Amino acid sequence: THLANLSLSVNGLQVADKNAPMKNLFSVDAMSFALEPVPLLSKKVIIDEMTVTGIRYGTARKTSGALPPRKAAKVEKSWLSAESPLGKMAGKVSERAKSKAAGLPALSAIASAKEQLKTTNLQGLVKAENLPMLKDLDAMKTGYQQKSADYQAKVKSLKVQETLASVGPAWNDVQALKIQNAQDLISAKDKIDRLNKCRQDLQTASDTLKTLKAQAEADFGDQKNLLAKIEELKNRDLQAVGQLLKLPTFDFSSLTGVILGPVWMERLDRALDLIAKARTYMPTSKGKTKKSAPITQPRLHGVDVRFPVFNRPPDFWIKHIAVSGTTGGDGKPNQPLDFSGTITDVTSDPALLGSPVRVDLKGAQGAHRLVVQAVLNHTQEIPVDTLQVEMAGLRAEELHLPSSEYLPAFQGGNAAVTAGLTLTGNEFAAQMNLALTGLAKANTAKPTGLGSAAEIAASLWSGIDALHFGAEGKGSPDKFDLTIHSDLDKILSERMQKLLGQELAGVQAKVKAEIEKLVAGKQSDLLASYGADKGGVLGSLAGQQKELTEKIASIQKLIKEKQDVGAGATNQQTEQLKNKAQDQLKGLFGR
């Protein structure tokens, strides 16, 4: 460190990784800058230009960078006291991924499982008392019978036949009407109104039946859903019997995500942690703590006159940082790539400055490429931080893939990574896509058998030349979702299942056949009862609704007929009165 003429230079700076004290979080060969003298008089640190060269990250250290336990605890406590909800989430993300990875069985267990299957004995284990589904089928049958009884009771309570019978007197009265003139139509109105009231009662009953029918169809469901439920119960009992037989069970449905997920989650955790710390040092206007004004005694003489100050700078402000570095370094096997770029407007008061921090780093050498862009916008009440990273032309080993017996030691290959992170307040959304190609040549292990974990891993990846892996995460510190997917999940899952050979499939087939025999009778009874109960309820509802619909239509037809006759008689009577009036007028005027 050297200080002269308000210029400061720092050489050989190293910051250890607290989680890996024999590695550097980052190191810097040289850093230099000059302070503006006038702002210092106002206790403000303003730097126009800073130069940082020789940046490296993840490099090996010659000595441990771990702090003494007491000092480490003090630093950790200070961070926790100032940590935002976002910072407290860092660590939880990778913990979830690691817990899934810990659930994978050891590869050596797969080889021993093959031998176990050869000696599996089914005698006396597949029997009725070991199949809970037999009681479940009885309960389902009773349930459908109870539903049928409940719906039949509801239909009976509607008294549809009584309602239909009550229409008779009003129907007969209207049918017997003889309408020859307007006076007859007026006197018939009460009888037609009574019949209309009966029609409305029938319509109400019809609507109720329609609603009940829809409810019954939903309650009983489709037979295919019932069959799917039965199949689900069979698979459940198959697993239960498998546990009695101590059959090996492995779930490899998302093998790629479980293996590679922790790598992405760990880096997402680190990004969240760094941004949380940046928010601590560069708070928004809402996050800044205001110091209370000092208590002063009133002066007896004189008045201080303060003039407004425009364009007041923040207390700390680095206007421009020119950075350069390399992706290589001690302990890193990768081909180093030099990069350079700028960081602008690093300040303790973003709201006052009104400009976000911008990071723009780039490096390219042939197919090898690196782009890092970030915007930390803390100028408003709710901070918005974005980070975009693109890397191409990497070798597989440069990705620092996790140490897993499921992964062979890839040497070479080509890797490309794109990742993005957006934080709005404490809500985050992140995504990452990884493409690995040329893996067939990079996989130096050769499958020679199934005796060791390395040989099983080699067999698992044999012939696979490319891998595409994607991950998304979003949420808040209290609740967040993480999804991981790969185009190889299905292939690797099938290969892992095949490693168990035909023994497991053979034993499972025998167990399932025995289960089918034991449940066949009750399954048949359930399906028959289901069909009868559902058919009886829906048939009864449909039949009575049809009667109501037909009666409503006949009432509407009868009323219309009588109204049409009345309208005709009224028109005829009106015409007769008109003609009579005309004749009288002619006689009156002699025409």
The full set of domain ranges for the chain reads: 1-61+315-347, 128-221+538-589
Chain center to CA of 128: 41
Mean pLDDT of 554-563: 83
- Polymer length of the chain: 591
pLDDT winner (highest mean) among 306-320, 366-380, 569-583: 366-380
Say what percent of the chain tops pLDDT 70: 71
Tokens of 351: 């709201």
Q: How far apart are the first and last CA of the chain?
A: 133
pLDDT surpasses 80 at 2: no
At residue 442, the pLDDT reads 56
Chain center to CA of 321: 39
pLDDT surpasses 80 at 243: no
pLDDT tens for 250-273 read 556 566 666 677 677 777 777 777
pLDDT surpasses 60 at 85: no
Nearest residue to 375 (alpha-carbon basis) of 282, 438, 504, 445: 282
- Cα(99)–Cα(476) distance, integer angstroms: 20
Nearest residue to 553 (alpha-carbon basis) of 167, 64, 258: 167
Mean pLDDT of 234-241: 82
- Cα(454)–Cα(438) distance, integer angstroms: 20
Tokens of 530: 């289901």
pLDDT surpasses 90 at 46: yes
Contact indicator for 484, 261 with CB cutoff of 8 Å:
yes
At residue 327, the pLDDT reads 85
Which segments of 358-481 does DSSP mark as H helices, in order?
439-442, 453-461
- Cα(240)–Cα(388) distance, integer angstroms: 48
Nearest residue to 569 (alpha-carbon basis) of 156, 180, 298, 103: 180
pLDDT surpasses 70 at 109: no
pLDDT tens for 332-355 read 766 788 999 999 999 988 988 889
Give the position of tokens 């407004």.
Answer: 308
Mean pLDDT of 443-461: 62
Residue type, 502: Q
What does the radius of gyration of the chain's CA atoms come to, in whole angstroms?
A: 42
- Cα(13)–Cα(2) distance, integer angstroms: 13
pLDDT surpasses 80 at 157: yes
CA distances from 393 to 411, 467, 532, 581 (A): 14, 15, 67, 108
